[in-house]
Structure 1
C-alpha cells in the first residue's frame, strides 16, 4: 500500500480560529485524510491517501464555504478581491463625520442625523461587506464564527437606527444626542456604532494581515535566495537553462559573483564562497576540487565547475524552507486548546447576547438599554485575539529561529523543550570540530621538532587516515617520500631525502624496527595520552627523534555553550563512543562533569531511555549516523547542520551552524516563544472574561466595545512580534 502524499493548500476566507477548526473538521471527515489548518499562515497541510485527489480536497473546502488553491504568489486582498487597505481608508473617511457629529452635541445642526445616514449606510454595508458575506456563507453551512458576531452587531445597530429615524422620534428636526461612554444612549441612534466599529475591525484585520506577512518574511526570503538559471556544460558546449531543469549529475559553470545553482561538488577551479545569506557566517569558505558547495551561496573571485548532487526539493535551501513551513503549519497543544474553545465560544456568545436582550426587557422594560447590552455583548466577544494568540507567536518564533540557523521541525517541538532538564551531547563533531589536528610535537634531545614534523608529513601524505591527514596538513611543504608502505593499525614507513623513516606506535617501532624510546620522549608520549590525544613516534636511521600528538580540536564556543545551558537549568552529560581518557579530557576542557564513554549506537539509545526512566525530560545533541537513533528516542533531538543527513532527519531541531551554542539558543528561544503564547492566551481569555459581564450588565457602549475588541487583537499580534527581537548567545 502506497504512502499518503501531502499537499499544502492556500485557504481564502478565514477570519478567525473557528474558521480554521471548521475547515480542519470537514477535511478530516474525508476517508483517510488528515489535515491541519493554520489561521495565521492561511495554509492547510493535508495528507491524502491513494485515490483521493487534490481537487477532492479543494472541493471539500469549497463546500464548507471557503476557497482553496495550490500555493500562488501572495496578494494582499480581502474576501471580495477589493484591496483591504482601500476599503479601510474609504470607510474611515466616511465614518469620521458620522462619529464626530454623533459624539459632539455642539456640532449637531438641524437635520444632522439625516446627513450622516447615507455615510453610515455605505460603511455598514460596503465597508462591512467582508463580515456580512462571511457570516452569510457560514450561516448557509450551519456555522457561526467571529464574522457572525460582527455582522449581527453592525446590522442590528444600523437597522435599529433606521427604525428610530423613520418610525420613532429620532428623525425629528432639531433632535440632539449625547454620548455616554459607559452604558447606553439617551436617544436611540447607533449609526456611529455601526460605522466606527466597522472601521476599527477593518483596521485590526489589516494590521493582522501585515503582521502575518511580516512573520513570514524569512520564508519568502529563503525562496528568493535560490538561483534562477544555471549555465550547464553539455556535449562540450554551454547552455543557459532554468534551474528547475537542472538534474543530478549535470555539470554547471559558476562565474564570480553568481549564485551556485544547486548543491554539488567542485570538479574544476578554486574560489571563495560567500555562504552568509544561508548560514549567517561572515567568513568566506575556500573551495577547491572535491569541496562541497551549497545552492544559493555566492561565488567569489574564481570560476568554478560544479557537479550537481542535489537539485530541486532535495537541496539544502529547500530542506530549510520545508522545515520552516512545516514548523509554522504545525499546531502545539496549547493552540489545539484554543481551537476547541473557539468552537463553542461563538454560539455561547449568541446565547448570552439574546439573554441580555431578554433580561433587560423583562427587568427594566427599557428597549434602548436592552439593545445596547445585546449589541455590546456581540461585539466585545469576537474571539480574534484568542485565535491569533498561538499561531502568531509560533510564526514569529520559528521564523526568528530560521534566521539564527535554528530549524524547528514542528510546533510541538517548542513544547518539548519546555521541560528539558538534561542534555546528552556527543563528543566528536558536536563538542569538537570532528577533524584531527596536530596539537604538539615533542622533540628528543638535540632534535628539531619542525624537521621531525616535516619528515613525518612526507610519508603520511599518501594516506587517507584522519591522523595521517592531520600530520600532512600541519606542514605547508613536505619533501617527496619514496617506497611508502603502511602497516595496518601500526604505522607507515618510507624513504625521505635518503633517510629510512618510520612513523607509528612505539611498540611497533620497538618490535619490528628495534627502535627504543628514550625517557624524555616516553614522558611526552604518556602526557599526550593522558590528556586524550593520540601520540605517534617519529624515527629515522634507527633512532627515535620526536613524538607528535594529534587530537580532535574543541570548538571555540563549546565551553560557553555548556555554561549557558547550565544557566538555563539544563544539566550537560557527554555521551560518546570514544575511549574514556579522550572523552574526559575534552569534557574537562569545556566544563562537563559527567561522562559516559565507550558506548555503541544502541548504548546511546539505552542511555537516553535510562535518563527518561528516572523521570527526566532529555535532549540529545549529535551529528553522526551513530547518533540518529538516540536523537529520535530523546524528548528533544538536536542535530548539527554540519553532520549527516541521517542525524538531521531523526532530530526535532537542526542547528545549521553545527555549533553547540545553537542548542542553548534553541532552548532559550523555545521557552520564550511558549511564554509569549501563554501571555497571549492569558490576555485573550482575561479580556473576554472581564468584558463580557460588563457588556451584559449594560456598562459598555457598543462603540467602546468594538474599539476594545479590535485593540485586543492588535495587542496579541504586536506582543508576538517581540520575538523578532530575540538575540542569540554572544
Structure 2
C-alpha cells in the first residue's frame, strides 16, 4: 500500500534523509521517499499505517507528520458467499487492491465495509472480486425496520401532518404516519441510513418532543403501582382503625355516625366499602389463587384468597344479620381481617420485590456498564444516538472517560482501556488501531474512532449477562428439598386450617372463632419463604461472583464447588504463564552471549527461540541482519555473523564444534535435572556459556495453592509434560502430588479415578482439558483459555491465574450456608406460626392470633429470607 504524508520541520537534504531513515525503521514500512519541495513523504507499506507511532518517532527528531487524506469508507453488497471461507476470500481480494486500507465482510447481511484512500474504484474492485466467483454491488440493499414512539405537543391535524412531513424528509425513512389521538408515530426506516435519534431531533426542530414509548410506559406503570400501594395501605390503616379501635384497652375515638354502639349498620357498611375496594385492588390474589385451586395446584395466592374471602363472606352474612335487627352480630365482623391482610400481604410482596431487585444487583451493575447513548460519526460529523440504534459497521467516537458502547475494532487513535469489568484486573490495557475493544469497558485517556463489529445481543457483555441470568435461573440440587415440600405444603396447610376450624367449632360452638382460626392458619403459612430461600441466595451469590470475575454456569456448580476436597490442575497456561522465558544466562559476558544467541534465533518459530528474542527485546539489544542460518537437526543452529562463527544448541553440538564445556557440565546437568531447558553457546570454537529456559509460574499460583491447602483441599498437578519439568513447577507451586506424561484423552480417566473417593474439581485452559473438565464434578476454566475449555466448564475464571479458584469455593460455601439459614428460618417460622394460628396457645389460656397479625408475620417472613440472602453482597474476595 502506498500513502502520502505531509512532513513539517524539514530544511535541507539532510533532514529529508533523516526522515526517510526514521520511517524505514518503523514496523510494516518497506520504503519511504521524501519530496523536500512539497514537504511530503510517500510511504510504501504492507498495511494501512497507524499514525501515532510514526508521529512519535519523527517527533523525537524534531519533525511533524500528518496524514494528508483521511480514509473514506463505503458499504457494498456481496453476492455469492456461502460460508466463512467465502467471506475471508472476499476480504483477502479487496485488501490486495490499491488504496484499499481494510475490508470487513458481514456474512449474515452479505455486506462488506471497505475503507480506502484516494478515489473510490468500485468497478475495479468488482472486477477483482468477480474473478473469485463473487459479485459486488455499490447500491446498498435497504433493510427496513419499523419503530413506534410517542410525540407530545401536538394539538391538531396540522401538527400531526407537520410531524409526518418532517419525518418523511429524512434520508432513509420509507414511510411515516402520526396518530393524533394516541400521540404516536409509526415509522418504517433503514437503520443504516437514519437513526431514531435523528428522527427525534427533526421532531424537536418543529417544536414537538419525541420519546421512546417503553420508557414512558415503564415509568408510568411504576408510578401507578406505587400510588396504588400507598392508597391500599391508607385504606387498610383506616379499616383497621374503624374495625379494631374499640378493642384496645383505651378505646380510640370514632365518629358517632359510624360507631358500633350507636350506628352498628353504618359501622358495618363503611367497613364493607373499604374492604371491597381493597380486595378489588388486590384482585390478583384471587385471579391467580382460585384457578390454581380449581386446577389442583394450590399456591400462596390460594391460601390468601380462600382465607380472606371466607372472612369477607362471613362478615357480609353478619352485616345482613345486623340489618335484620340482630345487633349482637356487630361483634362477628371480620372485614378488617380480610382487607388489612390483603393490604399487608401486598405490601410484603412489594418489599420482597424491592429486595429481590437488590439481589439482582450484579445484573443491574452489568447493565449499567452499557451506556445509554453512543456518539455516531457520520458524514464527517458527530451525533449522539441511543446505543440500541447502533448497527454493525457504524463508526463511533469514544472520548476519554466514556464507556465503550459496544464490541468494536479500533479504527483510529489509541488509549488505555480499563477492562476490570471483564477480567477483574485493575491494570489498564493499551488499545491501538486494529485491536478489538469490548462494550462496557472504559476509555481512560485517548480519543478512539471505533467500528461496531457485533449486534448488541452478540456482545461479550451480553453473553456475560446471559451467563449470569442463566445461572441465577437454574436451581441448585438443594432447592429440590424445598420443591418437594412445596408440593404438599399448601394442601397440608389447607387441611390443617379446615381441621382446626372444625375442632374449635365442635369445642366452643362459635362459628366466628372457627372462621378466625381458619383464616389465621391460611394466612400465616408462608410457602414464599420456602420458595425464596434457595433462588435468592443463588441469585445474589452468582451475581457477586460475576462482580469478582467468576462466572457460575448453574446453581448446581455453585453448590458442588463448596463440597470439593480435591483439585486437579493442568500445568501449562493454568499454573504457568504458558510460554518459556530465560531464567538465567551463565556466561562471563551475559549481554554478549545474549547478543550472539539472539542473532541466530531471528526468524525462528521455536518457543525457546521466542524466549531468547523476548529477552533481547527487554534488554534493548539491536540485532544485526543475518542472511543464512543453518539448522542442524537434533543439534541446534550454526551461522556466521560479523566475522564470527556461532553455534547454539545442545552438548553434542558443542562437542562437534570443538567447544570445551567440561567446566560448566555439572551446572548444566543440574539445571536439566530440575526440568529446565539448557541451551549452550559457542563462538569461534570457544564455549561462551549457556541459557537456562523454562516456563514460569504465574505470579499468584503459589499463594493460591497455599490457600487451597489451608481450606483442606488437596491440589494435584495433571500434565502431559515430562516428569522433570512437571516436578520442578510443582515444587515451586507447593504441589506435592504430580501425574505427568498424561495424554489428553487420559485426563478424563485420571479424574474418574479420583472420583471414586473424592469430590473432584478440574482446572484447565486448553482443548486437551475439555474431557477432564466435563468429567469432573466441577470443571473450572481459565477465561483466557480456549473456547472449547470454556464451553466444557461449569465455572469460568476471567482472570488468567488460579487465585480465584479458592475465592469461588469460599463463595460457594457462603452461598450454601446462606441457603441452609434461609431454609431453617422458613421451616422454623412455619413450624411455630401454624400451631399458634391454629389456637394451640389459646387452648391453654394464651392469646389468640388475629388474621391481621398473621398476615403481617407472613409478609415479614419472606422479607427476612430475602434480606438474609442480601448479606452475601458483602462477601470479600
Give the equivalent residue in structure 2 for 1:416: 560
The change in CA–CA distance for 1:493 and 1:220 in structure 2 (over 3 A counts) is: farther
Residue 811 of structure 2, aligned match among 642, 650, 669? 669
Helix, strand or coil at the partner of 1:545: strand
Give the equivalent residue in structure 2 for 1:652: 794
* Structure 1 residue 541 corresponds to structure 2 residue 684: yes
Give the equivalent residue in structure 2 for 1:88: 229
* Structure 1 residue 339 corresponds to structure 2 residue 480: no
Aligned-pair distance for 1:707?
A: 1.4
Residues 284-323 of structure 1 correspond to what in structure 2 (within 5 A)? 284-287=428-431, 293-301=437-445, 313-323=457-467
Deviates more, 1:669-678 or 1:151-160: 151-160
Structure 2 CA distance, aligned partners of 1:635 and 1:712? 35
Helix, strand or coil at the partner of 2:720: coil
Aligned-pair distance for 1:157?
A: 2.7
Helix, strand or coil at the partner of 1:527: helix
Residue 251 of structure 2, aligned match among 106, 115, 134? 106
Aligned-pair distance for 1:272?
A: 2.5
The change in CA–CA distance for 1:93 and 1:140 in structure 2 (over 3 A counts) is: same
Give the equivalent residue in structure 1 for 2:773: 631
Flag structure 2 segments of 5+ consecutive residues without an equivalent. 1-213, 261-265, 843-847
Structure 1 CA distance, aligned partners of 2:645 and 2:594? 15
Give the equivalent residue in structure 2 for 1:182: none
**Residues 424 and 798, structure 2, Cα contact 8 Å, conserved in 1:** no
Aligned-pair distance for 1:163?
A: 3.5
Deviates more, 1:555-564 or 1:252-261: 252-261
* Structure 1 residue 508 corresponds to structure 2 residue 508: no
Greater relative contact order (Cα 8 A, min sep 6): structure 1 or 2?
Answer: 1
Aligned-pair distance for 1:369?
A: 2.0
Helix, strand or coil at the partner of 1:107: coil
The change in CA–CA distance for 1:684 and 1:584 in structure 2 (over 3 A counts) is: same
Deviates more, 1:217-226 or 1:644-653: 217-226
Residue 483 of structure 1, aligned match among 624, 627, 643? 627
Residue 873 of structure 2, aligned match among 696, 712, 724? 724
Helix, strand or coil at the partner of 2:578: strand
Structure 2 CA distance, aligned partners of 1:693 and 1:147? 21
Structure 2 CA distance, aligned partners of 1:265 and 1:469? 28
Helix, strand or coil at the partner of 2:568: strand
The C-alpha deviation readout for 1:333-359, integer Å capped at 9, x for no partner, is 222332332233222222222222221
The change in CA–CA distance for 1:605 and 1:239 in structure 2 (over 3 A counts) is: farther
Aligned-pair distance for 1:501?
A: 2.7
Structure 2 CA distance, aligned partners of 1:81 and 1:610? 56
Give the equivalent residue in structure 2 for 1:433: 577
**Residues 230 and 246, structure 1, Cα contact 8 Å, conserved in 2:** no
Give the equivalent residue in structure 2 for 1:471: 612
Structure 1 CA distance, aligned partners of 2:558 and 2:376? 42
Aligned-pair distance for 1:135?
A: 2.3
Structure 2 CA distance, aligned partners of 1:271 and 1:497? 41
Structure 2 CA distance, aligned partners of 1:292 and 1:162? 70
Aligned-pair distance for 1:633?
A: 0.9
* Structure 1 residue 492 corresponds to structure 2 residue 637: yes
Helix, strand or coil at the partner of 1:483: coil
Give the equivalent residue in structure 1 for 2:693: 550
Aligned-pair distance for 1:275?
A: 0.6
Give the equivalent residue in structure 2 for 1:325: 469
* Structure 1 residue 403 corresponds to structure 2 residue 541: no
Structure 2 CA distance, aligned partners of 1:539 and 1:238? 62
Give the equivalent residue in structure 2 for 1:604: 747
Give the equivalent residue in structure 1 for 2:84: none
Deviates more, 1:475-484 or 1:275-284: 475-484
Aligned-pair distance for 1:439?
A: 1.3
Aligned-pair distance for 1:222?
A: 2.6
* Structure 1 residue 615 corresponds to structure 2 residue 775: no
**Residues 567 and 714, structure 2, Cα contact 8 Å, conserved in 1:** yes
Give the equivalent residue in structure 2 for 1:211: 355
Residues 685-696 of structure 1 correspond to what in structure 2 (within 5 A)? 685-696=827-838
| Matched residue count | 638
The change in CA–CA distance for 1:694 and 1:261 in structure 2 (over 3 A counts) is: closer
**Residues 417 and 670, structure 1, Cα contact 8 Å, conserved in 2:** yes
**Residues 533 and 551, structure 1, Cα contact 8 Å, conserved in 2:** yes
Q: Over alpha carbons, which structure has the higher Rg?
A: 2
> What TM-score does the superposition give when structure 2 sets the normalisation length?
0.67
Give the equivalent residue in structure 1 for 2:309: 155
Structure 2 CA distance, aligned partners of 1:252 and 1:412? 41
Aligned-pair distance for 1:693?
A: 1.9
Residues 162-311 of structure 1 correspond to what in structure 2 (within 5 A)? 162-168=316-322, 187-226=331-370, 270-287=414-431, 293-301=437-445
Structure 1 CA distance, aligned partners of 2:735 and 2:569? 10
Flag structure 1 segments of 5+ consecutive residues without an equivalent. 1-71, 178-186
Aligned-pair distance for 1:310?
A: 6.6
Structure 1 CA distance, aligned partners of 2:451 and 2:867? 46
Helix, strand or coil at the partner of 2:785: coil
CA root-mean-square deviation: 3.5
The change in CA–CA distance for 1:195 and 1:77 in structure 2 (over 3 A counts) is: farther
Aligned-pair distance for 1:620?
A: 0.3
**Residues 215 and 395, structure 1, Cα contact 8 Å, conserved in 2:** yes
Residue 595 of structure 1, aligned match among 721, 738, 741? 738
Deviates more, 1:594-603 or 1:114-123: 114-123
* Structure 1 residue 454 corresponds to structure 2 residue 598: no
Aligned-pair distance for 1:426?
A: 0.7
Aligned-pair distance for 1:316?
A: 3.0
Structure 2 CA distance, aligned partners of 1:171 and 1:715? 47
Helix, strand or coil at the partner of 1:537: strand
The change in CA–CA distance for 1:453 and 1:123 in structure 2 (over 3 A counts) is: farther
Aligned-pair distance for 1:257?
A: 5.0
Give the equivalent residue in structure 2 for 1:349: 493
Give the equivalent residue in structure 2 for 1:563: 706
